[in-house]
Structure 1
Amino acid sequence: MEWIDQGIVLGTRRHGEVDVVLELMTASRGRHLGLVRGGRSRRLAPVLQPGNRLQAVWRARLDEHLGYYTVEPIALRAAQLFETPGLLYALQTLTGHLGLLAERESHPGLYGAVDLALDSFAGTSPPELFELCAFIARFELALLDELGLGLDLSQCARTGMRDDLAYVSPRSGRAVSRAGAVGYEDRLLPLAGFMVGRHGSNNGPAEIRDAFRLTGHFLQRDIYAARAISEPTARKELLALVDRLDRAE
């Protein structure tokens, strides 16, 4: 068995003295593992850092085997992404989210979104903290959808209105308009306008907190709790950065 694909490094784990098991999010084969011989060497260790995009050749005798990777660098973004806490936490959050996907299941939309985002994050003018967080919150909506747990933000669950959607039911995951929420606001999750492309909305600190609270509720209820795992620590650190920046202003 052999295939060639591009992939984003999600992480590695040590295997013996000099080898590593590499976890890639590949463009067409999803999250895929493979052994890299000499992966801890001076030549390969910098290449196998999270966030880098590689050209990978995977070989195995049978498809169900772990197999072996040979890799070549395409975009070495890790150094830039490790430079500032915001970029580093964003990278760690995204790689943690991609690690929730089942192995060897293709998710080209998620792969493409993260690859483009990492190019932007590592560019000469990386986005500001709030932009980083806004992307992650929208990505989390897409992730929930890919996992079959998507929210229905198309119209109000009570009135059928498609305008002025301001809340989400924490039970059903359906949107509720401002008018439909009257008297029930404290039982609902606020819906940040930028999450549904609302004209004139912004992604300031309050909206970022609302967005993370919204997606975090469903990630915790439907994924983390079911798998007995915790949300990425980096996600909490991103929100802490948002809070510190908000207080400083």
Structure 2
Amino acid sequence: MEWRDEGIILGARKHGETSVVLETMTAAHGRHLGLVKGGRSRRMQPLLQPGNRVDLVWRARLEEHLGTFQVEPLELNAARLLASALAIHGIQLLAAHLRLMPERDAHAGLYETLKVITAHLDEPEIAGPLMVRFELALLDELGFGLDLTQCALTGSRESLAYVSPKSGRAVTEEAGAPWRNRLLPLPRFLTVKARMETPPDALEDAYRLTGFFFHRNVYEPRGMEEPAARGGFLAALARSAEDAAG
């Protein structure tokens, strides 16, 4: 068995004295692991860092085997990411999110989004909105997607202001007014495709929204806690906003 694909490194763990088991998110083969012989060498270690985009050749005798990776660099992002606390937490959070998906299931859309986010993880004004959109995309891939396109009560696509915690569907400001204390705020930047300024309070509402559905539909049913990297990422994002304001 053999295939070639590009991927972004999510992490690596030691294997024996000289090798590592490399975890990647690939374009066509999903989240995939493989053994890199000699991966702990001084030459290979800088290449096998989280966030790097690499060319991969995977080989195994049988499809269900771990197999081995041959790895070549395409885009070395790790050094840049390691210089930013936000980016460090961000790449850890992306890896934790992707581990919610079954191994080797292809998700081309998630891979392309991951590639875009990785390029901007050290830019708070871009990374914040991109990460929450990634969380929305991941919820959709997991089968718990939110419908933020039209009002669940009126069918209107204008003035969407809330999300029903029961149905995960948007509600307009007028229709939701009688129940606004029971609804989740829907930041406007999540309902438009064009890039727009994202105030810190809107980002907080957005992460509260995705966090609610992750807890209810993913973490609690699986007996999991929210990944620590999410709290670290949000704290770093808040510090960046404070620094920018000050």
Match of 2:207 among 212, 216, 230: 212
Would you say the 8 A contact 2:35–2:66 is kept in 1?
yes
Other-structure match for 1:136: 131
Q: Say which SS state the counterpart of residue 181 (structure 1) adopts.
A: helix
* Aligned residues with identical type, % of pairs: 50
Matched-pair contact (CA < 8 Å) for 1:142–1:150: yes
Establish whether residue 49 from structure 1 lines up as the match of residue 49 from structure 2: yes
1:117 is displaced (CA, Å) by 2.5
Gapped regions of structure 1 (runs ≥ 5) = none
Distance 1:108 1:40 in 2: 30
Q: 1:200 to 1:77 in 2, by over 3 A?
A: closer
d(CA) in 2 for partners of 1:154, 1:235: 26
Equivalent in the alignment of 2:115: 115
Name 1:150's counterpart in structure 2: 145
Q: Please give the alpha-carbon distance, in whole angstroms, between the structure 1 residues aligned to 2:175 and 2:81.
A: 43
1:72 aligns to what? Answer: 72
| Cα drift, residue 201 of structure 1 | 5.8
Structure 1 window deviating more from structure 2 (210-219 vs 152-161): it is 152-161
Aligned-partner residue type, residue 216 of structure 1 = G
Which stretch of the first structure deviates more once superposed, 1-10 or 81-90? Answer: 81-90
- Equivalent of 2:185 in 185, 190, 194: 190
> 1:118 offset after TM fit, Å?
1.6
Q: Deviation string for 1:106-131 (max 9, x for gaps)?
A: 1111101111222344xxxx53x232
| Equivalent position amino acid for 2:106 in 1 | S
Number of the residue aligned with 1:59: 59
Q: What is the root-mean-square deviation in Å for CA atoms of aligned residues?
A: 1.8
Corresponding residue SS for 1:155: coil
CA contact (8 A) 2:187 2:206 kept: yes
2:20 matched to which residue of 1?
A: 20
TM-score normalised to structure 1 length: 0.92
> 3-state DSSP class of the match of 1:223?
helix
Aligned-partner Cα distance in 2 for 1:146–1:46: 32
Take 1:245 and 1:105, find their aligned partners in 2: how far apart are those partners? Answer: 35
- Aligned pair count? 244
Tell me the residue number matched to 1:9.
9
Would the alpha carbon gap of residues 156 and 81 (structure 1) be closer, same or farther in structure 2, given more than 3 Å must change? same
- Establish whether residue 243 from structure 1 lines up as the match of residue 243 from structure 2: no
Structure 2: which 5+ residue stretches go unaligned?
none
CA contact (8 A) 2:120 2:126 kept: no
Q: For residue 186 of structure 2, what is the amino acid of its counterpart? A: L
- Aligned pairs for 1:81-100 within 5 A: 81-100=81-100
SS at match of 2:221: helix
Deviation at 1:226, TM superposition (A): 2.1
**C-alpha contact 2:10 2:91 (8 A) present in aligned 1:** no
SS of structure 1 residue aligned to 2:117: helix
| Residue 44 (structure 1) shift | 1.1
AA partner of residue 39 (structure 2): G
With over 3 angstroms needed to count, the CA separation of the structure-2 counterparts of 1:67 and 1:89, relative to structure 1, is same
CA distance in 2, matches of 1:57, 1:39: 15
**2:217 counterpart of 1:222:** yes
**Shift in alpha-carbon separation, 1:193–1:114, aligned structure 2, 3 A:** same
* Cα offsets for 1:194-241 (capped at 9, x unmatched): 111178963111001000000011111111122222222222122223
- What is the SS of the residue equivalent to 1:184? helix
After alignment, is 194-203 or 85-94 more displaced? 194-203
Distance 1:20 1:198, change over 3 A: closer
